[in-house]
Chains A and B, each alone.
Chain A
């Protein structure tokens, strides 16, 4: 039966192709000049150039972190091109104006953008190699005062808002990759939900790395004012390349009083081949600040891709009664490595957090959950519940759980549950004895294992995630 599982997990990457759009690519290498070039290309105000340069100067003094449970060769930051843009064209007002080659790309990905937008009512801010190509539904969102678009555009149209919040949750000196991102980010999304507005639709961005050897440095900033709420979807796929690509994004969320932000990710970057050659290094800093009372930030992630995943979507629970949530499924196969989890920092009174993490390892992969629950002295009555489950598929993979718990208030309640299970021979035999083949059996078991997390995903994402796990694990059980 082992062979069947092997085949299941070993399906080739389905999204491996390069779109032939002429790119304007900066020379490789990183210096203050590179940063000035990026800033000038984007016609940025002086304060933003200063923000970048300050981050860069700090980055030069930092050393690459090595504490994560992942192994990879040293990255040569001078061998990366820090800017690639599709040839400048006039701003697009409708889908018809979009490069048909680009539309075909999305269709190959199974994300026919126009259909998606029309049928699902999703506004898609398409990020294609760092520059926002088109934004749909902007007008409709503008009616209720929502600003949703590329962050470069927002820098031009709403500089004060961007300046107020950029770096307020993830400071430019926060960590090595966040500093790098702050110095060289080229684009990303900006979303602002004003006071009292419930965003009438899910907001969605599809990211895609398209130019070989181009590092991606996305910067996303979402602000929900008092009583506002928004659900944001981020989905990723990347084409197949042999050289490793660095992806160091920063996502910042700010929730004011009674605001609610739900951030969902399906990540399927190219993971490398079955021998561990190639694949994306996904080193991401995601953090949400529950600044106001009764605010809520919820992260849901389905991580199936990348050669290395290193990310800890976190919540700082500053406002009293604020709520942080983290729901995660991380799947690794072949030689993939994942070190992912969350940080819940309880500062305000009666703050609550929930962590549900499901790790699935197959092949020779390594899958680690790393999480911090920190209760500060002022966090009276803080509560946390953590559940970390690992599932092993085969005998050559590994799963680890590294929970860090720091409690400095005696009224806090912190619970941690962990389990490790295997897709066992007896389970597979039970399915087989009822006529059900190995592929379907594995898919059913895995989906059952991940149910608590999938339930948190918006409908169409849940369907996508289920399919994704199916073909990710095809051939690995047995």
Chain B
């Protein structure tokens, strides 16, 4: 929801970033206020996932220019775990498997770490078990997931649910969902979307990174951004997504190029 006079949560100004000396993000500008849902769309290789990882602080990417303010503070100065504790959450496109590490143990450690940062109560294993089971109902997950190793042997859909479960537990102020819809069948998409909608409120913001308009039928964005060649080239309302679905990305890229040529 767009809330008048809502404070800016995330301000990205002129962000440039590279990986292995290849420039990916080029002068990217982006702004999110509390309460809003944003969708970032764009063709393969446009830098959407890189943007998500740079915000979360992935060490493989080098920021070469620009600034990012989160709640008015310099986000880029923080280590990845500090960003997470400050309320930046990334639902991974490909959640990694961690063999041997129990999911419930992992979830509780993450939860308690963030709780401690916020000066809130940490939970013992029994209390946490009650909490996590409650949250799992939201995502229609079987408690059996708690006994398994983190993401190990999970199907694509199960991994994505596990990501949203973590979002539900950590209650981030900024949740970036990187292609959370990919690999989901229609039922799973519905469940995951319901979960995300349930978690959205006036104090947090959600950024959806996606290829397809399909997800936006379930999670309705306030703004749709089109990314191309490492920058945002068009911003519109939710109807922009429908237009993209119909016409593809070429026309916007062509228009942007023409505008660039004129400028």
Q: Does A461 contact B (CB under 8 A)?
A: no
Min CB distance A100 to B, Å, is: 39
Contact yes or no, B59 A429, CB < 8 A: yes
What CA separation (Å) do A436 and B80 show in the bound complex? Answer: 9
For chain A, residues 404 to 445, give those with C-beta under 8 angstroms from any C-beta of chain B: 421, 424-427, 429-438, 440, 444-445
Min CB distance B203 to A, Å, is: 19
Q: Does A165 contact B (CB under 8 A)?
A: no
Q: Which residues of B contact A451 (CB under 8 A)?
A: 100
Q: Who on chain A is nearest to B60 by CB?
A: A425
Q: Which residues of A contact B79 (CB under 8 A)?
A: 432
Contact yes or no, A432 B100, CB < 8 A: no
Contact yes or no, A435 B101, CB < 8 A: no
Q: Does B81 contact A (CB under 8 A)?
A: yes
Q: Which residues of B contact A354 (CB under 8 A)?
A: none
Q: Who on chain A is nearest to B57 by CB?
A: A432
Q: Which residues of A contact B101 (CB under 8 A)?
A: 444-445, 447-448
Q: Does B114 contact A (CB under 8 A)?
A: yes
Contact yes or no, B99 A449, CB < 8 A: yes
Q: Which residues of B contact A436 (CB under 8 A)?
A: 81, 109-110, 113
Contact yes or no, B96 A437, CB < 8 A: no
Q: Does A111 contact B (CB under 8 A)?
A: no
Interface centre among A425, A427, A432 (most CB of B within 10 A): A432
What CA separation (Å) do A1 and B25 show in the bound complex? Answer: 23
Q: Who on chain B is nearest to A423 by CB?
A: B98
Contact yes or no, A430 B96, CB < 8 A: yes
Say which residue of B96, B114, B117, B149 sits within 8 Å of A448 (CB atoms).
Answer: B149
Contact yes or no, B100 A445, CB < 8 A: yes
Interface centre among A424, A437, A450 (most CB of B within 10 A): A437
Interface bracket on A: 20 to 34
Q: Who on chain A is nearest to B151 by CB?
A: A430
Contact yes or no, B56 A448, CB < 8 A: no
Contact yes or no, B106 A435, CB < 8 A: no
Q: Does B213 contact A (CB under 8 A)?
A: no
What CA separation (Å) do A425 and B114 show in the bound complex? Answer: 22
Q: Does B95 contact A (CB under 8 A)?
A: yes
Q: Who on chain A is nearest to B80 by CB?
A: A432
What CA separation (Å) do A344 and B100 show in the bound complex? Answer: 27
Min CB distance B94 to A, Å, is: 9
Scan B71-109; emit 1 where CB is below 8 A from any A CB, else 0: 000000001110111000110100110111110011001
Q: Which residues of B contact A434 (CB under 8 A)?
A: 84, 106, 110, 113-114, 166, 170
Contact yes or no, B58 A444, CB < 8 A: no
Contact yes or no, A425 B100, CB < 8 A: no
Q: Who on chain B is nearest to A358 by CB?
A: B100
Q: Who on chain B is nearest to A4 by CB?
A: B79
Q: Who on chain B is nearest to A428 by CB?
A: B59
Min CB distance A358 to B, Å, is: 10
Contact yes or no, A448 B166, CB < 8 A: no
Q: Which residues of B contact A449 (CB under 8 A)?
A: 99-100
Min CB distance A275 to B, Å, is: 28
Contact yes or no, B98 A427, CB < 8 A: yes
Q: Who on chain A is nearest to B86 by CB?
A: A435
Q: Which residues of A contact B105 (CB under 8 A)?
A: 444
Min CB distance A115 to B, Å, is: 26
Q: Which residues of B contact A444 (CB under 8 A)?
A: 98, 101, 105-106, 109
Min CB distance B56 to A, Å, is: 5
Q: Who on chain B is nearest to A437 by CB?
A: B81
Min CB distance B122 to A, Å, is: 12
What CA separation (Å) do A398 and B95 show in the bound complex? Answer: 28
Contact yes or no, B99 A433, CB < 8 A: no
Min CB distance B107 to A, Å, is: 8
Q: Which residues of A contact B106 (CB under 8 A)?
A: 434, 444
Contact yes or no, A432 B98, CB < 8 A: no
Contact yes or no, B84 A430, CB < 8 A: no
Say which residue of B59, B98, B100, B109 sits within 8 Å of A1 (CB atoms).
Answer: B59
Say which residue of B60, B84, B99, B109 sits within 8 Å of A432 (CB atoms).
Answer: B84
Scan B5-16; emit 1 where CB is below 8 A from any A CB, else 0: 000000000000
Q: Who on chain A is nearest to B95 by CB?
A: A430
Say which residue of A425, A433, A448 sits within 8 Å of B98 (CB atoms).
Answer: A448
Given contacts A432-B81, A435-B84, A436-B113, contact A445 B58 (CB under 8 A): no
For chain B, residues 51 to 72, give those with C-beta under 8 angstroms from any C-beta of chain A: 56-60
What CA separation (Å) do A448 and B114 show in the bound complex? Answer: 22
Q: Who on chain B is nearest to A448 by CB?
A: B100
Q: Who on chain B is nearest to A421 by CB?
A: B99
What CA separation (Å) do A445 and B96 show in the bound complex? Answer: 13
What CA separation (Å) do A437 and B113 show in the bound complex? Answer: 9
Q: Which residues of B contact A448 (CB under 8 A)?
A: 98-102, 149
Min CB distance B82 to A, Å, is: 8
Interface centre among B79, B81, B89 (most CB of A within 10 A): B81
What CA separation (Å) do A434 and B110 show in the bound complex? Answer: 5
Contact yes or no, A447 B100, CB < 8 A: yes
What CA separation (Å) do A435 and B88 show in the bound complex? Answer: 10
Min CB distance A313 to B, Å, is: 24
Contact yes or no, A430 B100, CB < 8 A: no
Scan B206-240; emit 1 where CB is below 8 A from any A CB, else 0: 00000000000000000000000000000000000
What CA separation (Å) do A156 and B100 show in the bound complex? Answer: 49
Say which residue of B92, B113, B117, B149 sits within 8 Å of A430 (CB atoms).
Answer: B92
Q: Which residues of B contact A437 (CB under 8 A)?
A: 81, 113
Q: Which residues of A contact B117 (CB under 8 A)?
A: 435
For chain A, residues 72 to 110, give those with C-beta under 8 angstroms from any C-beta of chain B: none
What CA separation (Å) do A432 and B58 show in the bound complex? Answer: 9
What CA separation (Å) do A444 and B90 show in the bound complex? Answer: 21
Nearest first, the 6 closest Cβ-Cβ pairs linking A and B are A448-B100, A432-B80, A434-B110, A448-B101, A435-B84, A435-B113
The chain A residues found within 8 Å of chain B, CB to CB, are 1, 421, 424-427, 429-438, 440, 444-445, 447-451
Beyond contacts A435-B113, A449-B100: 5 other A-B pairs, Cβ-Cβ < 8 A, are A433-B92, A434-B113, A434-B166, A435-B84, A436-B110
Q: What are 25 A-B pairs at a CB distance below 8 A?
A: A425-B59, A426-B96, A429-B56, A429-B58, A429-B59, A430-B96, A430-B98, A432-B57, A432-B84, A433-B56, A433-B81, A433-B83, A433-B89, A433-B92, A434-B84, A434-B170, A435-B84, A436-B81, A436-B109, A444-B101, A444-B106, A445-B101, A448-B99, A448-B102, A448-B149
The chain B residues found within 8 Å of chain A, CB to CB, are 56-60, 79-81, 83-85, 89-90, 92, 95-96, 98-102, 105-106, 109-110, 113-114, 117, 149, 166, 170
